[in-house]
Amino acid sequence: MATMIERLDRHLRSGWPVLVLLCAIVPLLWMAISGAIRSGLFGLSVPPNTNQVGSFLTFIGATLGAVATLCAALLTSGHNARERQRLRLETVLRSLALLPEGAKKSRLAGILSTMVLLGQERIALRVLQPAWDGGLVDDGTATWLIGQVLAGNRPRNGTDSDQVDDEARNEAAVLLVDRAGRLADLETGRYYFPGHFMRTWRTKKEVPAQAKLDLLHAMAEMLASRERDWWSPSGDLPEWPTSVLLECVRRDRDPKVKAAAAVLLDALRECFPDQFSRRGHEVDDIQALAAAARTAAALPAVHFSLAERIKVGWRRAMVVNN
């Protein structure tokens, strides 16, 4: 249902000039024909007089003039939208030309951010991948850029390029998974993840199912990359990603995505049983979803193996500490 609504919204935004013309022309033609019939202009028994014909032609002329003016306005609007897009592309190309060898991090971060905000996510991701691996982009900037792409945060000016690029979102999620194991900094105690998904799971534009699975995969990789005490020095259940995973289980429409979140939550439950026990029936739902996913093998094996790594590694740490 959500996909159908998004498609309808996309078609309306891209085809609104035709819709406006139809809404303007059809009522005017109806008025002209109705007026002509009521006045007897089309009567066969009595020929129309000069005044009737003149009035009808005047009305038709005014109608055509109004439609022509509207057409010109719509064509101008479409031209302006295309011109804005052309200027965007020129800006991106000039930005790429500013990439010298050994570019400073601040300059490169600004260029990549501009590309994403201008709707050129695929170009930005192509540049980000080697730049991130080469240390020219820090983890905070890289995850912010990926978050912007995944959440679909881009301007809307009524052109095709303003539509959310699902292929770029899938690519961004894969890029995040490949580097998730290094996003929890052992020395500083900080971790980095796309900011939108540190606050909430839902987005204005539905994220592709595979990209959501990759996001959950990245969360699991990050959790498994560090010991329990690193994520929870106080011994309490970590707020992130627990709150986001719970929101995913409650509200996501895709059964596989819900199951993947449940598998990861179930691993956290076994590591923090006392704090999860306060949630009552919700814990039962999580356990049931996770068990069903394991039985049906409905998810890629990596989700189960990472959940097992977290359970075994974190519970071992609990035994040592006790």
Six-digit token pair at 81?
A: 């939208």
CB atoms within 10 A of CB 15: 10
Q: For the ranges 167-171, 186-190, 279-283, 288-292, which has the lowest average pLDDT?
A: 279-283
Q: Place 297 in a pLDDT band, splitting at 50, 70 and 90.
A: confident
d(CA 108, CA 97): 11
Higher pLDDT, 66 or 321: 66
pLDDT at residue 115, as a whole number: 82
Q: Is the distance from CB of 271 to CB of 314 less than 8 angstroms?
A: yes
Q: To which residue do tokens 């996003």 refer?
A: 183
- CB burial of residue 82 (10 Å; 0-12, 13-18, 19+): middle
pLDDT at residue 132, as a whole number: 93
Six-digit token pair at 13?
A: 């935004």
pLDDT at residue 108, as a whole number: 81
Q: Place 287 in a pLDDT band, splitting at 50, 70 and 90.
A: confident
Write out pLDDT tens, residues 127-169: 999 999 988 899 999 999 999 999 987 655 544 455 788 999 9
Mean pLDDT of 245-258: 92
Q: For the ranges 93-97, 207-211, 246-250, which has the lowest average pLDDT?
A: 93-97
- Highest mean predicted confidence (pLDDT) among 28-42, 166-180, 264-278: 166-180
| Pick from 149, 83, 150: nearest CA to 115 | 149
Q: Is the distance from CB of 208 to CB of 170 less than 8 angstroms?
A: yes
- Highest mean predicted confidence (pLDDT) among 59-68, 212-221, 280-289: 212-221
Six-digit token pair at 49?
A: 């007089």
pLDDT at residue 106, as a whole number: 74
Q: Place 82 in a pLDDT band, splitting at 50, 70 and 90.
A: confident
Q: Is the distance from CB of 231 to CB of 259 less than 8 angstroms?
A: no
Overall pTM > 0.85: no
Q: For the ranges 20-29, 111-120, 206-215, which has the lowest average pLDDT?
A: 20-29
Mean pLDDT of 290-308: 87
